[in-house]
Structure 1
């Protein structure tokens, strides 16, 4: 609530004393201090004027009060004990006769203390308005996710009045409460004015809204839409004029309704492309991606579609849900912007640039996605697959089964670490023995045992390669398989 004369005078630290009877709930917009005989040229109205009466005389009191009343000041605070020991009787009589609120300011209370107190109250009111507007915008946004009807209902309740959403012809689409629909006919002339294109409106006509004051009712009508023709109209009505914070709330509702009205435009080109394809004229489709495109295989589910809708470049990217992922066709020039936007939804596989037939690109994206899932990568390009090493191409389940089977005999004889050191040393017994901290003869004996239980010669390059793969797979934590450069192949 804004500060009023009553709330200011009620502050005990100020010690203000009303002299003209009960205080009204007149709003105080500011505190002004002046000793001029006529301060009104420097006032706007609504101020609590403070004075010591330095230039006040018994003869000038009535005229002084008359000027203040004419200017619309909220009240007059008169300091006693400075120039005048008490409030002059002539001033008090004039204030009572002309309806000016007069407050006595005690000598210990400095004018600046009153100014600071009112400033704090104004700041508190401003903060309350900002908080209310922010909370209202959140509520309206949440309601907008359900649809325009829910938004209109929430708006009417926030304002404590009624709200109407009308189509371009003036037909009611949503009304809250339902009885508000009866006001639509009376608004028809105002809608006709707002329906004019910008060049046809009079210079003094509001471009997007208008306000009406009727007996006991205040109405605001807003035009919805960005183009030359309105897409909808929003009308709200309350018993009292809308305060500043209420206008902010209405503005938020208009913005959300405009966004809902304009969003379908982003799909026009894609719908035209589909129509051109069905008509056998794909070259005429305005949004058919021309030139190189990439196919993205995304594992993020519905979140992928949400991310595309929220990105300006997403309108150029057709998406198709497939079994297990969503395929997105992305023009190559916007791929760098789209990939980070989708990366937060889950792993992504990216094809090489392609033109025309995209079946091959879809296969590439799927293979890249499978490798990204196995490796824990957010984004993996098909062109990067050869550089991922042998491990990145293996199916985790089959790879672990292979490793467990091959290494089982070594585990039974506690020879896994011996084999790991031997493979890491590339078959050099001296280096492997030093790594294990054993004598070379001990290592040689263990490796003969390993060859015996394996039934294979570890010095055979093919056998050593299989052992390296098996040992690298088992060196990973969990079910994943690390990629090139991350396997434990160095000497322990």
Structure 2
């Protein structure tokens, strides 16, 4: 059968009776029955207004020696835990017939002195109930904190901590029902008996609760949707009270997070493998066409992406003084606007294929656009840089072949970055050296060597035009030079 959830454990009638402030006097034996509420009634038959578990208070306005036994019988049948009789008003003492009926039928009977208002009894019980509920909430909070700490060490420590918190056993099961972790170890023998419940939960992921020969068992599926990623089963000697259900729910949530994280890591590793192997797609890579954004905002941009739904469709990585974001073409404007709130942004042209070389080249172009954006504009697209319209007239394949052939001798000696700075500075050696962070004599030596390798006069405007085209086509390749 299902386990019945309870809130706070109500105070025992004996505990209420023993409160010095109330001055109650037990006239019969007082068992450990629990007082769920206090009800005041002068009706001859108050049971239609009771649920059971109440301490009923009365001054006996309608009680006589003739109806006392029937009155007590109705209270007992309703499940009342006790009767408090107020003396000094209608009756100076507790009527003998009522006392006799209470003793005969096993109804605890208390004498309430004239000085104790009935409302004082109700407030006392309410305070005890509130204190118990507060203790339950505090215990649940502390248990959840301990579970979170244990979860940082893995699912095994989490399961072990849960079993200790509940004072029972706990099992973490695979989707097929195999035991992954058991606490204590002999609890793994209980897994076979859970298989029928697991079969039902596979069809409709939720939870199940039932009573076994020696304990009460609760089983919950792990995962956010679809086929469960596993199951958590716990067993305790007594039915789980409400705080314990909260603790189990926290454990399920932590295990669900742990079950989902490896999937994310697996997708990212698969994407990395696809890129390294030159495959066009990986499960975590946004679909082509893609743009690469170079963002001066750095980690602030990463935080903004994390908080925006678009971030789940982008890949981002911090750079030395910026960050790079790979985003699907349709989201480029939105992501650029997000990043622009934290600093200048450079946007690459679309990369039609998700390949390492193409994305690296796109980053280089985004960084060139960022350099222009740092000079006063929020977002700069590479296509809007001076001269990019000319490149758009060229066949990409032929232009790349021309550039690779022309620059091949320079790449062998690592001279492409120096030549790029020299051409960008329009042959001004001082400005180019300053951009590279080297001495002008060092740059002059490198430029002279580049001219020797190319066999061309770098002062010739036509030669510079060819070199500019080759360098523009291969923008982003410097890191490999």
Query: Is 1:6 aligned to residue 14 of structure 2?
Result: yes
Q: Does the 8 Å CA contact 2:38/2:125 hold for their aligned counterparts?
A: yes
Query: Is 1:240 aligned to residue 241 of structure 2?
Result: no
Q: TM-score, normalised by structure 1?
A: 0.64
User: Which of 248, 251, 257 is equivalent to 2:249?
Assistant: 251
Cα RMSD for the two superposed structures = 3.6
- Partner Cα separation in structure 2 for residue 63 and residue 32 of structure 1: 19
SS for the counterpart of 2:116 is coil
- The structural deviation recorded for 1:247 is 0.6
1:288 is aligned to 287
- The structural deviation recorded for 1:324 is 8.7
- The structural deviation recorded for 1:174 is 0.8
SS for the counterpart of 1:125 is helix
- Partner Cα separation in structure 2 for residue 382 and residue 133 of structure 1: 54
- The structural deviation recorded for 1:16 is 1.2
1:335 is aligned to 335
SS for the counterpart of 2:376 is helix
Query: Is 1:84 aligned to residue 84 of structure 2?
Result: no
Distance change (3 Å), C-alpha of 1:365 and 1:26: farther
Q: Does the 8 Å CA contact 2:208/2:218 hold for their aligned counterparts?
A: yes
Q: How does 1:99-114 map to 2 (within 5 A)?
A: 99-114=106-121
Q: Does the 8 Å CA contact 1:351/1:362 hold for their aligned counterparts?
A: no
User: Which of 372, 381, 387 is equivalent to 2:376?
Assistant: 387
- The structural deviation recorded for 1:191 is 1.7
- Partner Cα separation in structure 1 for residue 229 and residue 132 of structure 2: 36
User: Which of 226, 247, 261 is equivalent to 2:259?
Assistant: 261
1:464 is aligned to none
Distance change (3 Å), C-alpha of 1:382 and 1:33: farther
Gaps in structure 1 of 5+ consecutive residues: 199-206, 369-380, 389-397, 399-492
- The structural deviation recorded for 1:326 is 6.7
Distance change (3 Å), C-alpha of 1:123 and 1:60: same
1:57 is aligned to 64
Q: Does the 8 Å CA contact 1:297/1:362 hold for their aligned counterparts?
A: no
1:19 is aligned to 27
Query: Is 1:317 aligned to residue 306 of structure 2?
Result: no
Distance change (3 Å), C-alpha of 1:81 and 1:290: farther
Q: How does 1:102-251 map to 2 (within 5 A)?
A: 102-195=109-202, 197-198=203-204, 208-251=206-249
Q: Does the 8 Å CA contact 1:297/1:366 hold for their aligned counterparts?
A: no
Farther off after superposition, 277-286 or 239-248: 277-286
- Partner Cα separation in structure 2 for residue 298 and residue 333 of structure 1: 16
Farther off after superposition, 318-327 or 150-159: 318-327
SS for the counterpart of 1:294 is strand
- Partner Cα separation in structure 2 for residue 251 and residue 92 of structure 1: 48
Q: How does 1:306-455 map to 2 (within 5 A)?
A: 313-319=310-316, 327-331=324-328, 332=332, 335=335, 350-356=345-351, 357-359=358-360, 362-363=363-364, 382=371, 384-387=373-376
Deviations 1:203-254 (A, max 9, x none): xxxx511112134411111111233322111011111111111111111111
Q: Does the 8 Å CA contact 2:38/2:122 hold for their aligned counterparts?
A: yes
Q: Does the 8 Å CA contact 1:58/1:88 hold for their aligned counterparts?
A: yes
- Partner Cα separation in structure 1 for residue 267 and residue 18 of structure 2: 65
Distance change (3 Å), C-alpha of 1:24 and 1:145: same
Q: Does the 8 Å CA contact 2:344/2:374 hold for their aligned counterparts?
A: no
- The structural deviation recorded for 1:385 is 1.3
Deviations 1:267-290 (A, max 9, x none): 576566556556755268663363
- The structural deviation recorded for 1:334 is 5.6
- Partner Cα separation in structure 1 for residue 367 and residue 372 of structure 2: 13
Deviations 1:181-222 (A, max 9, x none): 121122222222222x23xxxxxxxx5111121344111111
Q: TM-score, normalised by structure 2?
A: 0.65
